[in-house]
Amino acid sequence: MEIPGRYMLTDIIKSKTKDGKPYLRAIMCDRDGNRRNGIMFESNKLDFDPQNGDIVDAVGMIQQFGGQDQLKISTMTVVKDADPSEFLPKRGINSEELIQELELILLEKITDEHLAALVDRFFKDAETLDSFKKMPAAKSVHHAYVGGLLEHTLSIVRLSVLVGDYYKDLVNTQHLIMGALFHDLGKVKEMQAGTGLEYTDSGKLLGHLLLGVEMLNKYVSEIEGFPEDLKYLISHLIVSHHGLLEYGSPKKPKTPEAFILHHLDDMDAKLNTFFSIFERDGVEKGWSGYDRLLERQLFKHS
């Protein structure tokens, strides 16, 4: 039975059948954030050239393929002026409130002249800020919903204030907070602006750590007299925050702030993952199903 629906297309692959006819595969996301494999044969008959992030009205039939449901599309038309963010998983994040809270904390805590100029630059970069407010923190795993990147960043900033103050004799809380602010900022360029469900070319080739450093370098180049050693210290916080080379950090943490940032980031991401797994498995308490990424079952006792 054919069913109509509205979807966002991502992960498009255009290919040819053995007898040379063009066809198209794509991930189709509906407005509930569900993702489904789609396939359309004779895609040369379409009256538009499908691009990642396009919103379409499609009619198709569900069939089994390789043990998974697949939507075999018969007709598909593009929808202009649709809002892509409607098609991302959502959790009711109020981005405006969060961004205001973030700005307030930074205004209060960042008193160093150059770092304050850096914060200022960031909040004046409207394009980046706009993506930053909508972006998930990841395609899956943790904070994978509209506003997740902002929510996670704000959480690390808050924790940095708490823990930086706790260790105030030992660490530079302002550095720590700046590391928290920028640690995942490169995700704004690593994932498709506006969709957040697909990695960009530069994201796959360099990754968000290096893209974040590139963004930082750009801001710094616009601030007169920004000390070079300060630039490298903040950059180090960004690139070392995965903690180990095998997790993609080209350098291990070497400063007290880098150690702390790594732990806070991993802790916050793991906790969010924890509750996402229970939600995904539809389990309220007790044991989750086996999670292949964490390689364990999880236990929620209340």
Site for a second copy in 51-80 (CB under 8 A): 64, 66-68
**x/- site string to a second copy, residues 94 to 133, per CB under 8 A?**
----------------------------------------
Closest approach, Cβ 81 to a second copy, in A, equals: 27
Site for a second copy in 163-202 (CB under 8 A): 163, 166-167, 170-172, 175, 201-202
Report the alpha-carbon distance of residue 148 to residue 129 in Å, rounded. Answer: 14
Q: Is there binding between residue 274 and a second copy (CB under 8 A)?
A: yes
Closest approach, Cβ 135 to a second copy, in A, equals: 20
Report the alpha-carbon distance of residue 250 to residue 147 in Å, rounded. Answer: 28
Q: Is there binding between residue 259 and a second copy (CB under 8 A)?
A: yes
Q: Which is nearer to a second copy, 83 or 169 (CB)?
A: 169
Q: Which is nearer to a second copy, 50 or 82 (CB)?
A: 50
Closest approach, Cβ 51 to a second copy, in A, equals: 12
Closest approach, Cβ 137 to a second copy, in A, equals: 17
Q: Is there binding between residue 260 and a second copy (CB under 8 A)?
A: yes
Which residue among 79, 104, 162, 293 contacts a second copy (CB under 8 A)? 162
Q: Which is nearer to a second copy, 45 or 296 (CB)?
A: 296
Structure tokens at 231: 């630039």
Q: Total binding residues for a second copy by CB under 8 A?
A: 71
